[in-house]
Structure 1
């Protein structure tokens, strides 16, 4: 099956892809599709033609992205810069899908391609729901901590107006999950998100933290904020505090 990476559509291009009031002309939609097809190819994935409509829909709403709410508990500095931050994310409803492709990039591609359709009208309200950031990928490591396991859960936070009554997905693979409050330790990193870079960032944060007992060691999250066309795009690695 053809795929597009999770981050390909998380935030569409800032220079040319501006929000439009009127339906997009066929020529412009074709240009937009070609742009994202080229971006997808850099990740060794192909973009199916039926994603042209959802891409155009996301572009029209490109300027509005609702942040996932959280409370900052503490910030820790090293060399006068923030090394990591501890946050509390309140309980909330997320649209989630799990995929287990051979590569991390393939799993998030296939998962988010389905989520983007849900966001762009393939829901019980038949309307665009609006984008939230970050989109979060939950990953699992083997016991040795040397590689990622195939299954990756990709999660989209429902905008505030839909938290009480989430629109139902048309795709049976997508589940609406109520997540309990989540306390995480986060560290920003920039650039690509591959298995190699993720493992590197996990190792770096463990070095900063030492060995706290109340942090999960086999489950982590990767938060994506920007599109992959941005050379130094922002991401975060999240360590999860154990629930009391």
Structure 2
């Protein structure tokens, strides 16, 4: 049975999580802890997935530190606007160290669910430093396309950028499935979209951006990236689809 993902929580009504849970830095009492865990399980059950009890600690840690998020560094190269609104933009992300997990489940949603839960535990003290590392945004999911250019390959890589203080010396993961990878700089075309990220919704976003860009050979067509910015309790989460520019 798959683990719940950040996608699975997108349907949570914002009123279901009380302000005293999400904003209180103090440890939760048993009632608050159970209520928060029950919210995760409630949403998970609608997707026929389960949240193991061992996730209780990381869930609380992430919830308490919801506002403490570090932006992955980047530089904006250009923006394309229509009627005064940015339709898409081009950015450069510098080289850096990322914690990565690759999963190949039956569904895209299952793969990123299981990968993110592993990364969540790594962030929340299951590392050689024995401390909470801090959340960075966005979390990336890397998609490779099959030869038909329509369907996704089974294996999905999910990546978490190490906060600035750990870039030089990343804490080692306790989980052997997590690897620390130095990823080279990346130049991407990005388009914002909101809601859940499934294979269907991502395919739609890929097609929409190609329609806006038109025909070009300067971008890869066999690999795309989905960038997720919001925490699981946000009902209308911000995401981006990234097209990767080929090296000259």
With the length of structure 1 as denominator, give the TM-score of the two structures: 0.93
Residue 157 of structure 1 corresponds to which residue in structure 2? Answer: 161
| Distance in 1 of aligned mates of 2:131 and 2:217 | 45
| Distance in 2 of aligned mates of 1:72 and 1:180 | 17
| 1:112 to 1:35, Cα distance in 2 relative to 1, 3 A | same
| 1:174 to 1:7, Cα distance in 2 relative to 1, 3 A | same
Residue 67 of structure 2 corresponds to which residue in structure 1? Answer: 63
Residue 136 of structure 2 corresponds to which residue in structure 1? Answer: 132
Shift of 1:99: 0.1
Which stretches in structure 1 are left out of the alignment for 5+ residues? Answer: none
RMSD of Structure 2 on Structure 1 (CA): 1.9
Residue 220 of structure 2 corresponds to which residue in structure 1? Answer: 216
- The 8 Å contact of residues 8 and 47 in structure 2, kept in 1 or not, is answered as no
Structure 1 residues 17-37: Cα deviation after superposition (integer angstroms, max 9, x where no partner): 324333221211111101111
Which stretches in structure 2 are left out of the alignment for 5+ residues? Answer: none
With the length of structure 2 as denominator, give the TM-score of the two structures: 0.92
| Distance in 2 of aligned mates of 1:179 and 1:20 | 36
Residue 234 of structure 1 corresponds to which residue in structure 2? Answer: 238
| 1:229 to 1:39, Cα distance in 2 relative to 1, 3 A | farther
- The 8 Å contact of residues 20 and 59 in structure 1, kept in 2 or not, is answered as no
Structure 1 residues 89-123: Cα deviation after superposition (integer angstroms, max 9, x where no partner): 00111000000001010000000111000000000
Residue 119 of structure 1 corresponds to which residue in structure 2? Answer: 123
- How many residues are matched? 243
Residue 32 of structure 1 corresponds to which residue in structure 2? Answer: 36
Residue 22 of structure 1 corresponds to which residue in structure 2? Answer: 26
Residue 84 of structure 2 corresponds to which residue in structure 1? Answer: 80
